[in-house]
Amino acid sequence: MTTTTTAEGRLARRFAETRQQGRAALVTYIAAGDPDYDTSLATLKGLGEAGADVIELGMPFTDPMADGTAIQHATRRALDAGQTMDKTLEMVRQLRRTDQQTPVVLMGYYNPIYARGVTRFLDQAKAAGVDGLIVVDLPPEHDDELCLPANQAGLNFIRLATPTTDARRLPGVLTNTSGFLYYVSSNGVTGGAAPSAERVQQEVARIREHSDIPIAVGFGIRTAAQARKIGAFADGVVVGSALIDAQASGDTPAEGTQAVLELTRELAQALTGAR
Amino acid sequence: MNQQRPTPSLRHGPDPRGFFGDFGGRFVAETLMPLILDLEQEYDAARQDPTFADELASLSADYVGRQSPLYFAERLTEHLGGARIYLKREDLMHTGAHKINNALGQILLARRMGKRRIIAETGAGMHGVATATVAARFGMDCVIYMGSTDIHRQQPNVQRMQLLGAKVIPVTAGDGTLKDAMNEALRDWVTNVDSTFYIIGTVAGPHPYPALVRDFQSVIGREVRDQITAKEGRLPDSLVACIGGGSNAMGLFHPFLDDPEVALVGVEAAGEGLDTPRHAASLKGGRSGVLHGNRTFLLQDDEGQISDAHSISAGLDYPGIGPEHAWLHAIERAEYVAATDREALDAFTLLCRKEGIIPALESSHALAEVIKRAPRLPADHLMVVNLSGRGDKDMATATECLADELGLGKPDQQD
């Protein structure tokens, strides 16, 4: 179980670094296999150098109930291009050949993991160099399904807290959460309206009363200006749908990748001067 | 897995975490969890509240038209030459199907919870019409999500919903059927969680929905117990119902779960055949998975990607099934079979011609099993079939499929 770069190590170390540098970490989401395997791998490999501190890699699912149209279409494109869980894990293995530092978190829905078998999935993810998991449709009530086995396997299980997570639920949400907490800035699906920074700041402060776990804020953050506002107080800023749109914006897949990396650089720069 | 000591009754599920055996649960995003817990609490309170039961009973009688008749299908029985066949006439209820039983119960819960906006998914449109109906009756805003394929094949129901004041939003994702409509309804719910009550139309979704929908539909089975006892002096030998998500079947079966002498038969949609990919039989052709808030049997590939279901009847066109059915299947308390599109169409025609009743294509799947089963059974076998809905909405599909062989729409020759 003990390796030189354990999962706990990579995410914890990255947030310790960015805290020390006095800035928020940039957490970027891309959908694995969008628009095809090779392009997606090229994007993934470029993200770290462009300034992504943590990478969320979306595991495509036919029924992404918590996602808006941008990510719905991206995961559809990936599945249509033949993306599988094996290929998603292979992308992480490829990345780890050149990048041993950037934490990678797989994000998606439970059924593709359940279909593979939890133990088999965790073994393969760990071996590929995955650091953590975000599984949208597993609330703390179902920790025995995946969260506890993942923690046992040395993978962080990153939970979402939302505006509806009240004081009664918050301790339960924080229990067994590790790596960071993903604060969903508004009720709704990914790619929605921009949150009010003032309200989010109050919510983040409320959570900090219960825990010193790093808190990354996501949903609706698209631009450098928005990232700067949230980055002024949050430990991390998550950008997803805007990067998905960038990937789809190019005339060729390679141009899409360049657009993603360009936006990543802008966002990273914004966070450097946010405080 | 903690094995609980088996209780003598099969009617006590689900457990406090929402499980029937391995099936069920609350697999939803954190945003929805507090609301689902509130709903569970409110439902528990409503169940203890006699005024809730009284209001539901009164509206069920005077607004819906309950109880629904249990009709002895004399000519069908004679034609098949075996079991005595009774039809539970849910098709005669207000809005033309059993769906109103659940919609009415849930909108009373919505009002208790102070919600003013109602959303629902619909396949054939019967649940959408039932929901739009009760939303009009209680003066609430109503938005119905419906797959674009289903909108095309169930036009009359789309117009009925709009006439009743509901907004019908077409869903183009996937195959544009019930599963996609449910995804979109969940997205709406998570966005408008403070104002909105989601009236789920079947015995699926996160706990407590499978239990509360079942309870509101169990009026069907309770009435059957009384009616068959009055007519025949004993309980039936078998109950037959069609299954998409499984609410009309669950409503019929549940009051009989503890009567082992009563056989329970659920009929899934075999579409173009179970040996093709174009069917909707999750128990016969699927395996355990997690979708739409519950663990149940799902049509899916090796990667856990959900397959698009197919059935001629929009109401059965769903790749999952309610978790309590998955459990009844696993413990073998109920038997699950399937009927093809063709078999359903033949049953549809037979009931029209023998009994003067146009059944819904969904219910025609149950009748297709009756056609196979009844002739092999003795004349004293009592079989109750849930005629869950009427077929007016299916005229376009029926005409398309049966026009040539039945000469529909052509001028008839005088004999």
Distance CA A96, CA A128 (A): 8
* Alpha carbon of A26: minimum distance to chain B alpha carbons (Å): 23
- Kindly state the DSSP code that residue A84 receives in the 8-state scheme: -
Longest dimension (CA), chain A: 49
Distance CA B177, CA B310 (A): 9
CA atoms within 13 A on the CB side of B98: 34
A82 torsion bin: left (phi>0), alpha (psi -120 to 50), beta (else): left
* Alpha carbon of B72: minimum distance to chain A alpha carbons (Å): 44
Q: Model's pTM, two decimal places?
A: 0.95
A218 inside domain: yes
Query: In terms of Cα–Cα distance, which of A97, A95, A127, A185 is closest to A3?
Result: A127
Chain B residues within an 8 Å CB radius of A164: 30-35, 193
Q: The tokens of B322 are what?
A: 């309610």
Sheet holding B70-72, edge to edge: B70-72, B84-89, B382-387, B238-242, B263-271, B334-340
Low-confidence ranges of chain B (pLDDT < 50): 1
Q: The tokens of A15 are what?
A: 């947030």
- Supply the CATH number for residue A45's domain: 3.20.20.70
Q: The tokens of B324 are what?
A: 């309590």
Chain B residues within an 8 Å CB radius of A192: 191
A5 inside domain: no
Substitution target in B303, B306, B307, B308 with the highest count of A β-carbons within 10 Å is B303
Distance CA B25, CA B196 (A): 22
Distance CA B307, CA B314 (A): 16
Helix (H, G, I), strand (E, B) or coil at B167: strand
What number of other Cβ atoms are within 10 A of residue B45's Cβ?
12
Distance CA A87, CA A215 (A): 30
State pLDDT tens for residues A179-198: 999 999 988 899 888 888 99
A1 inside domain: no
* Whether complex ipTM tops 0.85: yes
Substitution target in B30, B191, B196, B301 with the highest count of A β-carbons within 10 Å is B30
A192 touches chain B (CB under 8 A): yes
Q: Could you give the residue numbers annotated as active site of B?
A: 99, 121, 388
Q: Could you give the residue numbers annotated as active site of A?
A: 56, 67
Work out the pLDDT band at A1, boundaries 50, 70, 90.
Answer: very low
What number of other Cβ atoms are within 10 A of residue A252's Cβ?
9
pLDDT tops 80 at residue A105: yes
Query: In terms of Cα–Cα distance, which of B155, B178, B176 is closest to B394?
Result: B155
CB-CB under 8 Å, A115 with B300: yes
The answer to whether the beta carbons of residues A182 and A233 sit under 8 Å apart is no
The answer to whether the beta carbons of residues B57 and B235 sit under 8 Å apart is no
Query: In terms of Cα–Cα distance, which of B72, B70, B78 is closest to B374?
Result: B78
Place of tokens 């393969």: A124
Query: Residue B190 is nearest to which of A161, A169, A187, comparing CB atoms?
Result: A187
CB-CB under 8 Å, B289 with A160: no
Chain B residues within an 8 Å CB radius of A189: 187, 190-191
A124 touches chain B (CB under 8 A): no
Least confident of A203-207, A222-226, B278-282, B410-414: B410-414
The answer to whether the beta carbons of residues A20 and A140 sit under 8 Å apart is no
* Alpha carbon of B118: minimum distance to chain A alpha carbons (Å): 17
- Kindly state the DSSP code that residue B67 receives in the 8-state scheme: S
Place of tokens 């009592």: B382
* Alpha carbon of B229: minimum distance to chain A alpha carbons (Å): 44
A219 inside domain: yes
Rounded to the nearest 5 degrees, what angle is found at the Cα of B329, between the Cα atoms of B327 and B330? 65
Distance CA A185, CA A166 (A): 14
pLDDT value of position A257: 98
Identity of residue B246 = G
CB-CB under 8 Å, B35 with A111: no
For A212, B31, B386, the CA distances from A161, given in Å and listed in that order, are 14, 8, 44
Identity of residue B39 = L
- Residue A181: enclosing H or E segment and its boundaries? strand A181-184
Q: The tokens of A271 are what?
A: 């966070």
CB-CB under 8 Å, A166 with B187: no
A172 inside domain: yes
In chain B, whose CA is at the least distance from the CA of A143?
Answer: B27
CA A168 to chain centre: 26
Q: Which domain holds residue A259?
A: 10-270
CB-CB under 8 Å, A111 with B306: yes
Please report the number of interchain residue pairs, chain A to chain B, with beta-carbon separation below 8 angstroms. 111
A252 inside domain: yes
Q: How many residues does chain A have?
A: 275
Q: How many residues does chain B have?
A: 415
B242 contacts: CB under 8 Å, gap ≥ 6: B248, B249, B266, B267, B268, B269, B316, B362, B363, B364, B365, B366, B386, B388
Burial B56-67 (b: 16+ CB within 10 A, else e): beebbeeebebb
The answer to whether the beta carbons of residues B203 and B250 sit under 8 Å apart is yes
Query: Residue B30 is nearest to which of A61, A64, A160, comparing CB atoms?
Result: A160
* Alpha carbon of A137: minimum distance to chain B alpha carbons (Å): 4
* Alpha carbon of B182: minimum distance to chain A alpha carbons (Å): 9
Chain A residues within an 8 Å CB radius of B183: 63-65
pLDDT value of position B115: 96
Query: DSSP letters of B205-262?
Result: SSTTHHHHHHHHHTHHHHHHHHHHHHHHSS--SEEEEE-SS-HHHHHHHGGGTT-TTS
pLDDT tops 60 at residue A7: no
CB-CB under 8 Å, B26 with A142: yes
pLDDT value of position A4: 38
According to DSSP, the β-strands at A156-157 and A132-135 are: parallel
Query: In terms of Cα–Cα distance, which of B36, B18, B16 is closest to B28?
Result: B36
Work out the pLDDT band at A59, boundaries 50, 70, 90.
Answer: very high
For A82, A253, B177, the CA distances from A37, given in Å and listed in that order, are 8, 11, 29
Helix (H, G, I), strand (E, B) or coil at B98: coil
Chain A residues within an 8 Å CB radius of B34: 164-166, 169
In chain B, whose CA is at the least distance from the CA of A84?
Answer: B303
Rounded to the nearest 5 degrees, what angle is found at the Cα of B349, between the Cα atoms of B251 and B406? 155
A4 inside domain: no
Number of domain units in chain A: 1
Q: The tokens of B179 are what?
A: 């599963």
Q: The tokens of B191 are what?
A: 């966005």
pLDDT tops 60 at residue A210: yes
B298 contacts: CB under 8 Å, gap ≥ 6: A111, B282, B286, B287, B288, B289, B291, B306, B319, B320
Identity of residue A232 = A
pLDDT value of position B412: 83
In chain B, whose CA is at the least distance from the CA of A163?
Answer: B31
Sheet holding B19-20, edge to edge: B19-20, B23-27, B293-298, B287-291
A2 inside domain: no
CB-CB under 8 Å, B191 with A192: yes
pLDDT tops 50 at residue A5: no
B281 or A9, greater pLDDT: B281
Chain B residues within an 8 Å CB radius of A165: 30, 33-34
Distance CA B325, CA B20 (A): 9
Distance CA A43, CA A32 (A): 10
Give the residue numbers in B contacting A (CB under 8 Å), as ranges. 17, 25-35, 173-174, 179, 183, 186-187, 190-194, 288-293, 298, 300, 302-306
pLDDT value of position B13: 94
Chain A residues within an 8 Å CB radius of B36: none
Chain A residues within an 8 Å CB radius of B297: none
Distance CA B267, CA B263 (A): 13
Least confident of A84-88, A168-172, B89-93: A168-172
Q: What Rg do the C-alpha atoms of chain B give, in angstroms?
A: 20
- Kindly state the DSSP code that residue B362 receives in the 8-state scheme: H
Is the preceding omega at residue B14 within 30 degrees of 0, hence cis?
Answer: yes
What number of other Cβ atoms are within 10 A of residue B118's Cβ?
24
Q: At what angle do helices A85-98 and A118-128 cross, to 10 degrees?
A: 20
A62 touches chain B (CB under 8 A): yes
